[in-house]
Structure 1
């Protein structure tokens, strides 16, 4: 009798282990290895004498830390300072995603993007706060497959804290943290969340360096496919961020102005 019970229990375990229910117990959101973002930015900020500005940026991302390159961005834009605290911008870029194991095959997807942006800056004594609002129009071209178009709305709250000075100027060490949400009008409405924390150093009025960490989480909508409920899945990845900014000053600028070392991404 005991032997029969043991055989029956063993069979039940084997059947359960191979059933869809058991397979569904595997992690829906497996952890991913750390990656890296390498960013180089040329920036022309506005000044009290000349309110026009702009930027150009190149970015590369890797699936592992400084290895397994798979993604790049090329972008630029023109800005206008409405006053010291408000800056409007129109910009665009090209974003290419490849398979790091087959780079010679070309990008899997090429996205072209155009956006309008408004930045509100607050200077609260030592603490500096930036609110960034962005509306994006995006066009996708999937290799050998299809094309698509999407809109997106983004909001970023960014805070800066200089450590050895009340303002961010030459030879200043500063902390920077931000959280940004990405909203898709067609769903999933809450498409992405990006959290960043890092430390920076402004060498002089031209050169800045920031090193930090960013966690980017992507979300999908729950769905029913072939009669089965597919729960919301979150894909999150941690990355090391290295950003070098070279700032160009207007020739007509006569007085030093504090500029927040914002990342353009």
Structure 2
């Protein structure tokens, strides 16, 4: 359909426009180097309508060097309809803050979250909306702090050739108390379906804060496991 093609190119134009604005109006990090953002994520289906998500992230300030944080999130997801799901759960984050060259502060956070996902498809293209509410707490400090924020992500995926696809998203973070603007994230890259239940994507990842930005290479490996099927457990041991 001509309308589907028009919407596809329109969405791509918006993503690239956001990317250009980020480059033109933000300042880079002091190191002026690319960091790395490594993601392992997936779901394990345990029922027709229920699944368990798991996300692990390792972030480095420099490429695979200078540890930034480790993040792990899990919970339970309920399929409301074919196109929408609701997820609730917990997350843990361990991070290093480099205040001075020889002054590193390590902190831990505990999160509670709830999110709603809606995915629509048109002419083999995929458009996904995600809105999430988070409660974040410092847990290993004498002065514990709490923060509530809401985040919205718009993600677009378009096939390029066979198992290769184009992927882009923009995600806005808003604090519910104090300064409203938290950060904005943009990703532009390509991916490949490696197996029926396994895919990987890589590309440019940008985090824009109020006064600076972080530029990274983001590599993601995504898996899906269906535990409702019996055949996976009947395979002979090797």
Q: Could you tell which deviates more after superposition, 83-92 or 106-115?
A: 106-115
Q: Secondary structure at the match of 1:137?
A: strand
CA distance in 2, matches of 1:150, 1:69: 23
Q: Which residue is equivalent to 1:216?
A: 207
Of 133, 155, 171, which residue of structure 2 is paired with 1:180? 171
Q: Which residue is equivalent to 2:161?
A: 164
Distance 1:193 1:45, change over 3 A: farther
Counterpart contact for 1:81–1:87, Cα < 8 Å: yes
**Which TM-score applies when normalising by structure 2?**
0.77
Distance 1:131 1:149, change over 3 A: same
Deviation, structure 1 residue 249:
1.9
Q: Per-residue CA shift, 1:53-87, capped at 9, x if unaligned?
A: 12122211111011112311121121011111111
Query: Rg larger in 1 or in 2?
Result: 1
Q: Which residue is equivalent to 2:42?
A: 42
Q: Which residue is equivalent to 1:20?
A: none
Q: Could you tell which deviates more after superposition, 202-211 or 110-119?
A: 202-211
Q: Which residue is equivalent to 2:224?
A: 247
Structure 2 regions of 5+ residues with no counterpart?
1-25, 231-238
Q: How many residues align?
A: 202
- RMSD (CA atoms): 2.6
Of 82, 85, 92, which residue of structure 1 is paired with 2:83? 85
Counterpart contact for 2:208–2:214, Cα < 8 Å: yes
Q: Does 1:203 align with 2:201?
A: no
Counterpart contact for 2:98–2:104, Cα < 8 Å: no
Structure 1 regions of 5+ residues with no counterpart?
1-27, 166-171, 220-233, 254-265
Deviation, structure 1 residue 211:
0.8
Q: How does 1:87-126 map to 2 (within 5 A)?
A: 87-99=85-97, 108-126=106-124
CA distance in 2, matches of 1:67, 1:209: 22
Deviation, structure 1 residue 44:
2.2
Counterpart contact for 1:50–1:250, Cα < 8 Å: no
Q: How does 1:124-139 map to 2 (within 5 A)?
A: 124-139=122-137
Q: How does 1:57-96 map to 2 (within 5 A)?
A: 57-96=55-94
**Which TM-score applies when normalising by structure 1?**
0.69
Q: Which residue is equivalent to 1:12?
A: none
Q: How does 1:138-153 map to 2 (within 5 A)?
A: 138-141=136-139, 143=141, 145-153=142-150
CA distance in 2, matches of 1:146, 1:158: 37
Distance 1:101 1:154, change over 3 A: closer
Of 181, 185, 189, which residue of structure 2 is paired with 1:190? 181
Q: Per-residue CA shift, 1:200-224, capped at 9, x if unaligned?
A: 11111222111111100122xxxxx
